[in-house]
Structure 1
Amino acid sequence: MTVTLPPKYDAVEFAVLDDPYPGYRRLREAGPLCRGGPAQWVVTRYADVAPLVGDDRLGAEFDREYHRIALGDGPLADFFGHVMLNRDPPAHTVLRRLLGPEFTTPAVRRRRRRIDALVADLLAPVADGGRFDAVTVLADRLPIRVLAEFVGLEAEDIDAVRPRARTLSQAFATYLAQSERAATVEALVWMRELVSARFEARGSAAGDDLISRLRQVDPAVAGRQALIDNVVFLLFAGFATTTDLLSNGCAALAAHPGQMAILRDDPGLVPRAVEELLRFDAPVQVKSRLVHRPVEIGGRMIRPGRVLVLHLGSANHDEARFERPGELDVTRHPNPHLSFGGGGIHLCLGAALARAEAASVFTFLARRFASMEPAGPAVRRHTPNFRSYLSVPLLVHPS
C-alpha cells in the first residue's frame, strides 16, 4: 500500500519568494496539514488556524532545549525564555499586566497627536512632492521614535537601537542560521546593557514612561532581568513588525493606485485599509505553539509534545474565508484576519499602537498627495516567516 505523505513546508524556500501566496494556496489544497521540521506540523487553512490561536490545549512556552536548538547556546536561548511572547500563565499574566498599560487603546489614543506630528516631521522633505524611500525615510524611523518615547529611551539612543533591533528580530524565526547568530547575540548584549543602564539612571524618580514604572516593581513580582529582557523584546518586536506593516502597506498601495484613490476620496476608510493591509501581506506569517493536550486536525491526532506552526499568512489568503483574497480591497469589511495572532491571551500587545501608527501614515499620504507611485523596483528583505522590504522607492505629487 502506498502512503501519501502531506506536503513539506520549508520556511527558507518560501522566504526567497517575492510572492509566496500561490504556494500557500497549493499547500491548502493538498490538505489541512503540512510537514514542518522535526516533530512539527504546519496548519494552513483558516478554519483550522483561527480557533487554534486561542486554544488552551496549546502553549507558547517551550523549554530551554527548544530555544537552544533554534538559537544556539548562549544568551539568546535564555532571553527568549524570559519574554512574554514565549510564556504561559501565570508568568505571562504577570508580565502582560506589568507591560500593558502603555499599550491599551485609550493610552495609544492619547498619543495620537504626537504620532501624527512625527509622521509630518518625517515626511516634511517631500511635502511638496518628490521621491523618497518609504523604508529608510518613514517605516524604519517612525516606530522606533514612538517606542523610544513610550519606553523612556533618550533621543540619542534611537539611531543606535534601530539597526540592533532589526538584527535581533532575526531570532523571531523558527530557526536562526548559524551565520547570523554571532551578530544577533551581539545585538542582544548591547540592548540589554542599554536598557539596564536606563533602569539604573531612573533611580527612584517617577516618570510616565515604561522604564520609570517598571523600576518601581517589587522584585518578588518580577525579577529585574526579566523586566529588562521584556523591554528589549518590546523594542525589537514593536519596531520590526510595525516597520514591516508600514513598508508592506506603502508598497501595496503604490502598486494599486485605484485603492489609494479610494482613500484620497474618503480618508475615513483608512482604518479599514489598515486591516486589509495587515491581511494582504502580514508582517508576521507564522506562530509556533506547543501541544499540551491532544488536538485533532483533519482527522489526524496531534500528540502532546509536538509543535504546531499556525500559518497566519496562508489563513489570511484562504478562499474559503475571504472573497478574492489575492486582491487588495481597502473597503473590505468585515475583515477577520489573523495578523495580530487572532485572539486569546497572546493577542499582540502592541496591536493598538501599530494600528495607530499605520492609520496616521496612510491618512497623511491620502490627504497630502494627489498620487503615489513606484519610483523604482521595491526590494524585498528575504527572511523566513516574515514579510518585509529593504527598499520601497516612491514618487509623490502634492494635492
Structure 2
Amino acid sequence: MRADTARPHLSAAFLATQDDPYPAYAQLRARGPLSRAELGQWLVTGHSVVSTLLRDNRLESRMPAEYTRLTLGDGPGAEFLDRIVLTRTPPDHTRLRRFIGRALGTPVVRRLTGHIGAAADTLLDPALQRGRLDVVTDLAVPLPVGVVCDLIGIPIPDRPEVLTRVVSLAKVFDAANLTPGDLHDINAALPWLHDYLAELLSRRREQPGGPTLAGMYWEESATDRLAIADFADNMLFLFHAGFETTMGLVSNGVAALLAHPEQLRRLRADPALVPSAVEEFLRYDAPIQNVIRVAREPVEVAGVKIRAGRTVLLLLGAANRDAAVFDDAERLDVGRDPNPHLGFGGGLHHCLGTALARLMSVVVFERLVGAVEILGPAGPPVRRRHASLRSYDQLPLLVRAR
C-alpha cells in the first residue's frame, strides 16, 4: 500500500473559489483519483470513487469537535452544526429527514408547479418592463426564498428580516473564510432566529396541520415530535440550502448559456430539452463543488489507506467532468443523455431539496427560454467566492419580452 507522499498539497477551498477551477480539476484527475491536500486532508476527483465514497458509511459528515471549536468556538454556531440533518447519523438523521421530506418529497413539490410559475412571472415582469434583469438578485434568490418561506410557514411581512438573519447564519458553512465579524454575526443571528421560530410554532399550536412544516410539527405525536431546537435549526438549514442551491444552479446555468449561445438557440428551438438542460447545468458547473467527510475508521481507496480521523474532500465539480463517464466531458450539451452527474451529492446525505431545486430551475429556464430575449450583459458578472458553493453574486443582463 503506497504512501503517495509525492503528490502536491492543495486546498479544495482555493480550487472552488477560482473563476475556472476545471483545468486544475483535470490535472488532478490525470494524477489519479486521490491527491494530498492541506492539513493531511485528501482530495478525491474521479467519478467512480467519489460516487462510491458518498455512499460509504465509514465516512461521516460530522466534523471533529476540535475542528468545530477551532473555527466557531463554543457558541450558538457550533451548536447549530451539531443539530442539522447534514451532520446527524441514524436514528436522529432518519427522524429529521423523514419530517423534512414530508414537505419536500416529489409528490408535494409537483403540486407547487403552478405556484412557482406564478411567482417567477411576478419577479420577471418588472425586469422585462425596465429592460434589465439581474439573474441573482431579481430572480434566483427571491424565488426560492419565497417558496421556502411558504413551505415553512413564515408570514410575508416577516421575511425580509428573517432572510437578513439567515444570510448572516449562512457564513457558518464557509469556515475557511470566517472573520471575527462573521462569527459575531452568526452568533447574533441564531438566538434571534430560534426565538422567532419558537414563537412561530407557538402561534400554530392551536391550528395544527396544513401544508407548512410549522403546521405539520404539531401533528406529530409527543413521542415523535422533534425538540424545538432541532426543528428550528433544521428549518434554518432548509432555508439556507433552499436558496443557495437554486441560486447556484440558475446563475451558473445562465452563465453557461451565455458562453455557449448555440446551446441557448438549441433550447429555444426545442423547449422540451429544458429538464435535461437543468441536469447538464448541474454537471457542467455544479453549485456544490465539494463535500467533506471524515473517516470513522481506516478506508482503503485506490490502493491508498486513509487513516481514521482524516478528512476527505469529495470534489463533485471534478467528478462531473470525468471523461471516463461523460463523453466530451468539457462540452456543454443541453441534451446530454445519460447524465449520471453528482451535482446533488449522494448517499445518506443526498440533498433533501433535490426535487424542489429541480422544479424551480426548470420553471425559471422555461421562462428564460420562452418569454425572455437576452440581449447581452448589462454589466460585469460578479462571481461569488465560497469554499464549497459556486454561484454568482451579480449577473446583470439586458432583456426584453419575446
Q: Does TM-score exceed 0.5, indicating one fold?
A: yes
Contact 1:170 1:184 in 2 (8 A): yes
Structure 2 residue identity aligned to 1:93:
T
Task: Report how far residue 339 of structure 1 moved.
Answer: 1.1
Partner residue of 1:211 out of 203, 209, 214: 214
Could you say what secondary structure the match of 2:74 adopts?
coil
Task: Report how far residue 31 of structure 1 moved.
Answer: 2.7
Match of 2:377 in 1: 374
Task: Report how far residue 325 of structure 1 moved.
Answer: 2.3
Q: Unpaired runs of 5+ in structure 2?
A: none
Task: Report how far residue 114 of structure 1 moved.
Answer: 0.1
Match of 1:36 in 2: 37
Contact 1:255 1:373 in 2 (8 A): no
Match of 1:266 in 2: 270
Q: How does 1:197-236 map to 2 (within 5 A)?
A: 197-206=199-208, 207-218=210-221, 220-221=223-224, 222-236=226-240
Match of 1:173 in 2: 174
Structure 1 residue identity aligned to 2:6:
L
Structure 1 residue identity aligned to 2:178:
A
Task: Report how far residue 331 of structure 1 moved.
Answer: 0.8
Q: How does 1:356-367 map to 2 (within 5 A)?
A: 356-367=359-370
Contact 2:41 2:311 in 1 (8 A): yes
Q: Deviations over 1:51-87 (max 9, x none)?
A: 1111122222344333222323211111111000111
Task: Report how far residue 389 of structure 1 moved.
Answer: 0.8
Distance 1:219 1:302 in 2: 43
Could you say what secondary structure the match of 1:156 adopts?
helix
Q: Residues 32, 64 of structure 1: CA spacing in aligned structure 2 closer, same or farther, 3 A cutoff?
A: same
Q: How does 1:97-246 map to 2 (within 5 A)?
A: 97-127=98-128, 130-173=131-174, 175-179=176-180, 180-206=182-208, 207-218=210-221, 220-221=223-224, 222-246=226-250
Contact 2:162 2:193 in 1 (8 A): yes
Contact 1:103 1:352 in 2 (8 A): yes
Say which is worse superposed, 102-111 or 11-20, in terms of deviation: 11-20
Distance 1:297 1:255 in 2: 37
Contact 1:192 1:232 in 2 (8 A): no
Match of 2:335 in 1: 331
Could you say what secondary structure the match of 2:348 adopts?
coil
* CA RMSD between the two structures: 2.0
Q: Deviations over 1:300-320 (max 9, x none)?
A: 111222221111111112222
Could you say what secondary structure the match of 1:38 adopts?
helix
Task: Report how far residue 256 of structure 1 moved.
Answer: 2.0
Q: How many residues align?
A: 397
Say which is worse superposed, 19-28 or 114-123, in terms of deviation: 19-28
Could you say what secondary structure the match of 1:334 adopts?
coil
Task: Report how far residue 264 of structure 1 moved.
Answer: 1.0
Q: Does 1:314 align with 2:295?
A: no
Q: Does 1:85 align with 2:86?
A: yes
Distance 1:157 1:18 in 2: 36
Q: Does 1:9 align with 2:13?
A: no
Say which is worse superposed, 107-116 or 39-48, in terms of deviation: 39-48
Contact 1:32 1:43 in 2 (8 A): yes
Could you say what secondary structure the match of 1:8 adopts?
coil
Task: Report how far residue 322 of structure 1 moved.
Answer: 1.7
Q: How does 1:37-52 map to 2 (within 5 A)?
A: 37-52=38-53
Q: How does 1:279-294 map to 2 (within 5 A)?
A: 279-294=283-298
Q: Name the TM-score, length of structure 2 as normaliser.
A: 0.93
Match of 1:95 in 2: 96
Match of 1:305 in 2: 309
Task: Report how far residue 163 of structure 1 moved.
Answer: 3.3
Distance 1:104 1:202 in 2: 22
Distance 2:240 2:234 in 1: 10
Contact 1:259 1:330 in 2 (8 A): yes
Match of 1:250 in 2: 254
Task: Report how far residue 125 of structure 1 moved.
Answer: 1.6
Structure 1 residue identity aligned to 2:188:
E
Say which is worse superposed, 63-72 or 13-22, in terms of deviation: 63-72
Could you say what secondary structure the match of 1:290 adopts?
strand
Contact 1:62 1:81 in 2 (8 A): no
Distance 2:18 2:348 in 1: 32
Could you say what secondary structure the match of 2:97 adopts?
helix
Contact 1:58 1:291 in 2 (8 A): yes
Q: Deviations over 1:326-368 (max 9, x none)?
A: 22111111111111113x2211110000000000000011111
Distance 1:219 1:83 in 2: 20
Distance 1:324 1:339 in 2: 18
Percent sequence identity is: 43
Structure 1 residue identity aligned to 2:283:
R
